[in-house]
Amino acid sequence: MAITKRQATELAKQTFEYAPAPESIDHIKIEPRYGLFIGGKMIPPHSKKRFPTINPATEQKLSEVVEADEVDVDRAVKAAGKAFDSWSRMAAARRARYLFRISRILQERARELAVVETMDGGKPIKESRDVDIPLAAAHFFYYAGWADKLEWAFPNRKPRPLGVAGQVIPWNFPLLMLAWKIAPALAAGNTVVLKPAETTPLSALLFADICMQAELPPGVVNILTGGGKTGSLVVMHPLVKKVAFTGSTEVGKLIQRSLAGTGKRLTLELGGKAANIVFDDAPLDQAVEGIVNGIYFNQGHVCCAGSRLLVQESIAEPLLEKLKIRLGTLRLGDQLDKNTDIGAINSKTQLEKIESLVESGIEEGADIFQPECKLPERGYWFPPTLFTNVSQSYRIAREEIFGPVLSVLTFRTPAEAVEKANNTPYGLSAGVWTDKGSRILWMAERMRAGVVWANTFNRFDPTSPFGGYKESGFGREGGRHGLLPYLELV
C-alpha cells in the first residue's frame, strides 16, 4: 500500500540515530617530523623552518613539516632534471609499468591513505575512502595505459616530453590533485617537483613512500612541503619547463603574470561558482540528492561545487521544502566516523572566509536557513547553510565561498537560466536537471562551463577531461586531453 504524502513528509523528517562507527587509526603511522623527498629519498632539508600540520576537527598537531627554501627547491629541480634524461628515454612500456605499480600500491594502501587524508584535511572518511583514493588510483591506472600509446593519441605527430614539471596543488583533494598532476606528467615522460598545500601535506609525503616502494627511479618524483613562497620558488625555477597549478584565481593570475615571457608552459585550474539548474520536469527527489552532493560534498570545498542553485520558479517551493528536510538529516561531526556527511572545515582561515561571506549575505538581505545542528566545541565547523531571496548582485551569488553554503535563485525560461548561469566571471562546471534530453543538449551548448553534468553532479572519471573557461583557468586534466599540456607535438 502506498503511503500518503503527509506520511512521506513525516518519515523524511525522522532522523535515525546511528551508533558511532569510527574508522580505526591504529594501523597508520604518522611521523612526528618529515624531511623532503628529493632524488628518491627522504632527506634532511637545508631550510631550518618547519610548521605544524593539524587535524582541523580537533586542532591537534599531527606532524611537523619543512618549509622548503630556495636551496631545497633548487636541489629538487636539479634532481628532477637529472632523472629526466633517463626517464624520458626509457622504453615507454617500462615507464607504464611503474605507473601501474603505483596504482596498485595506492589500492593496497587505500585504507591508510584514506585515514591520513581525512585526519589531515577534515573530510569525511566515507568520501576519502570512496572517492579521493579510488579515483587517485584510477588516474594512475588510466595514464599508465597511455604511456606507450602516445603516438596513437596524437596521430601523425611526434609527441615529446617537456622536461621538469613544477606542480602546485590545493588542500581540498590533496592526493587526488597530486594524481591528476603526476600521472599524466610521468606517462608523457616528464619528471616532477610537486608542492602540496600547507594544511594538507601528509598524503603527498605518504605518496613519497609509495614512490620508494614502487622503486620509481630516483628524482622522477620530488615532493617539497612549504607555503606559498615555496610554491612560487618552484614555478619560477629556470629549469622548470612546465607549470601546473590548481588553486585560487588570485594566485593563478599572479603565477601567469610572473611566467609571462619565460617560455614556460602553463595550465591553471582555478575557482568556480557553478550553477546547478533544476527545471520543472526534473525528478525532484533525485535533484535534491544532486543538489546536496553538489554543494555539501567535502564541506563545499570543491572548485566545481554547485554553489548557485537555479530553480524554475514554478517548482521552487516544493523543491526547497524537500531540500530543507534533507539538510536536517545530514550528519556533521567526527570526520573519521563512517556515517558522517559533513566533516571539519579545512582551516581557521577558510572558516573565517566562510563566516564573513555568510555574514555579507545576511547583511545584503538574503534569508538564511540552517538546520538544527550541534557543532563540536573544538575544531573548525560550519553547518550546512542555504540562502533564499538572493539577488544576483549579492556577494554570496558572485563570489566563491568554498564552504557548505548554497545560494538559491529562480528563473522562468531556459534562456533566463542560461543567462543567469553564465553571469559569472568563472566557468568551470554546471548541472542541468530535466527529463528532456533535447533540453540538456540545448543548455549544454549555451553554458560557458568546462563540464556540464546532466541529472547528476560532481561525477569524475579519469577518462573525462576537466578544466575551465574564463577565470576558472585553462588547460584540461584527465582524458587524452590531459596529456597535451605535458607534451610537445612535433
Residues annotated as catalytic are 269, 303
Say how many residues touch Mg ion, by CB under 5 A.
3
Residue 120 touches Mg ion, criterion: CB under 5 A? yes
Among Mg ion, ligand NAP, none, residue 172 binds (CB under 5-8 Å by kind): ligand NAP
Task: State in angstroms the smallest separation of the CB of 8 from ligand NAP.
Answer: 37
Task: State in angstroms the smallest separation of the CB of 322 from ligand NAP.
Answer: 28
Closest CA to 237 of 46, 87, 70: 70
Dihedral angle sign, alpha carbons of residues 36, 254, 264, 144? positive
Residue 471 touches Mg ion, criterion: CB under 5 A? no
Task: State in angstroms the smallest separation of the CB of 188 from Mg ion.
Answer: 31
Task: State in angstroms the smallest separation of the CB of 196 from ligand NAP.
Answer: 6
- State the Cα–Cα distance between residues 38 and 130, nearest whole angstrom: 31
Residue 53 touches Mg ion, criterion: CB under 5 A? yes
Residue listed under C-alpha cell 593519441: 153
- Phi, then psi, of 399 in degrees rounded to 5: -95, 150
Among Mg ion, ligand NAP, none, residue 247 binds (CB under 5-8 Å by kind): ligand NAP
Task: State in angstroms the smallest separation of the CB of 249 from ligand NAP.
Answer: 6
Torsion from C-alpha of 457, 460, 463, 466, nearest 10 degrees: 80
Q: Based on CB atoms, which residue is closest to ligand NAP, 191 or 267?
A: 267
Inter-residue contact 302 to 458 (CB < 8 Å):
yes
Q: Based on CB atoms, which residue is closest to ligand NAP, 282 or 295?
A: 295
Task: State in angstroms the smallest separation of the CB of 93 from ligand NAP.
Answer: 30
- State the Cα–Cα distance between residues 172 and 132, nearest whole angstrom: 10
Among ligand NAP, Mg ion, none, residue 170 binds (CB under 5-8 Å by kind): ligand NAP
Among Mg ion, ligand NAP, none, residue 287 binds (CB under 5-8 Å by kind): none
Q: Based on CB atoms, which residue is closest to ligand NAP, 147 or 165?
A: 165
Q: Based on CB atoms, which residue is closest to ligand NAP, 244 or 316?
A: 244
Task: State in angstroms the smallest separation of the CB of 251 from ligand NAP.
Answer: 3
Q: Which residues contact 17 (CB under 8 A, 6 or more apart)?
A: none
Closest CA to 241 of 376, 101, 77, 99: 77
Task: State in angstroms the smallest separation of the CB of 163 from ligand NAP.
Answer: 19
Among ligand NAP, Mg ion, none, residue 120 binds (CB under 5-8 Å by kind): Mg ion
Residues that bind ligand NAP (CB under 6 A): 168-172, 195, 197-198, 227-228, 231-232, 235, 246-248, 251, 254-255, 269-272, 303, 400, 402, 428, 468, 473
Q: Based on CB atoms, which residue is closest to ligand NAP, 442 or 460?
A: 460
- State the Cα–Cα distance between residues 45 and 73, nearest whole angstrom: 10
Task: State in angstroms the smallest separation of the CB of 376 from Mg ion.
Answer: 16
Residue type present at position 121: G
Q: Based on CB atoms, which residue is closest to ligand NAP, 23 or 269?
A: 269
CA distances from 242 to 77, 218, 264, 266 (A): 12, 20, 5, 6
Q: Which residues contact 417 (CB under 8 A, 6 or more apart)?
A: 275, 277, 279, 310, 312, 411, 443
Among Mg ion, ligand NAP, none, residue 482 binds (CB under 5-8 Å by kind): none
Among Mg ion, ligand NAP, none, residue 117 binds (CB under 5-8 Å by kind): none
- Out of 88, 118, 128, 199, name the contact with Mg ion by CB under 5 A: 199
Among ligand NAP, Mg ion, none, residue 423 binds (CB under 5-8 Å by kind): none
Q: Based on CB atoms, which residue is closest to ligand NAP, 166 or 333?
A: 166
Among Mg ion, ligand NAP, none, residue 232 binds (CB under 5-8 Å by kind): ligand NAP
Q: Based on CB atoms, which residue is closest to ligand NAP, 96 or 240?
A: 240
Q: Based on CB atoms, which residue is closest to ligand NAP, 171 or 279?
A: 171
- State the Cα–Cα distance between residues 323 and 176, nearest whole angstrom: 29
- State the Cα–Cα distance between residues 304 and 464, nearest whole angstrom: 15
Q: Write out the residues near Mg ion by the rule CB under 5 A.
A: 53, 120, 199
